[in-house]
């Protein structure tokens, strides 16, 4: 795990937020936020070099100072290029990565509000959406239903997942 000393607090908050996100935002709709508002918080993640290679998806979190993605999306990169649905691009710094929980936090330019988890507990059969760039097709949303709660994938990692059937393909990684 690596971190920028000035952003340790943000990293810790974002890691906690990601755990909450797994249990709420992915498990159900973002309360009182139309799909278009959620889509406005999504990024495609690319290499920050001249190759501009597509890596996956990310989303703006909380007060808008960080974006969250999967650790396997950013790999060992210290910087990535984020692109939003309006065409805005920025080079952003990867401030933390936890490969065990597959979460990474990226420092972004503030100015927009990100996703905030729902306070509603997830329930079987609830409608869910997956946002991202499946198969490189940017800014896509798929719909599904929660089919199981409290799935633990690895015994050594106490993180309960929610199983759903919303379509998720390569490139969706990192999106909510």
Catalytic, out of 102, 107, 118, 164: 102
The closest of 39, 81, 51, 72 to 170, measured between CA atoms, is: 72
Per DSSP (E only), the strands in 24-171 are: 42-47, 54-61, 66-69, 79-84, 89-98, 103-107, 127-132, 140-152, 160-164
Catalytic residue among 57, 107, 118, 173: 173
Q: How far is 70 from 57, CA to CA, in rounded Å?
A: 8
Q: Is 72 a catalytic residue?
A: yes
107 is catalytic: no
Token pair of 167 as six digits: 């379509």
**Does 173 qualify as catalytic in the annotation?**
yes
Q: In terms of DSSP bridges, do strands 66-69 and 103-107 run parallel, antiparallel, or are they unpaired?
A: antiparallel
Distance CA 19, CA 152 (A): 13
- Find the angle CA(118)-CA(121)-CA(127) to the nearest 5 degrees: 80
Catalytic residues: 72, 102, 173
């Amino acid at each position: 795990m690596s971190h920028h000393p000035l952003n340790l607090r943000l990293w810790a908050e974002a890691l906690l937020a990601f755990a909450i996100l797994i249990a709420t935002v992915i498990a159900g709709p973002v309360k009182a936020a139309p799909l278009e508002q959620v889509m406005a918080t999504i990024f495609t993640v690319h290499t920050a070099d001249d190759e501009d290679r597509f890596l996956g998806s990310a989303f703006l979190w909380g007060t808008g100072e960080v974006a969250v993605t999967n650790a396997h999306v950013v790999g060992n990169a210290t910087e990535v290029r984020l692109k939003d649905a309006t065409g805005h691009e920025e080079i952003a710094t990867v401030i933390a990565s936890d490969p065990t929980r597959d979460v990474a936090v990226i420092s972004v330019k503030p100015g927009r509000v990100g996703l905030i988890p729902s306070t509603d507990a997830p329930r079987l059969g609830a409608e869910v959406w997956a946002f991202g760039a499946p198969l490189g097709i940017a800014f896509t949303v798929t719909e599904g239903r929660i089919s199981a709660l409290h799935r633990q994938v690895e015994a050594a990692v106490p993180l309960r997942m929610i199983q759903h059937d919303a379509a998720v393909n390569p490139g969706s990684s990192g999106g909510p």
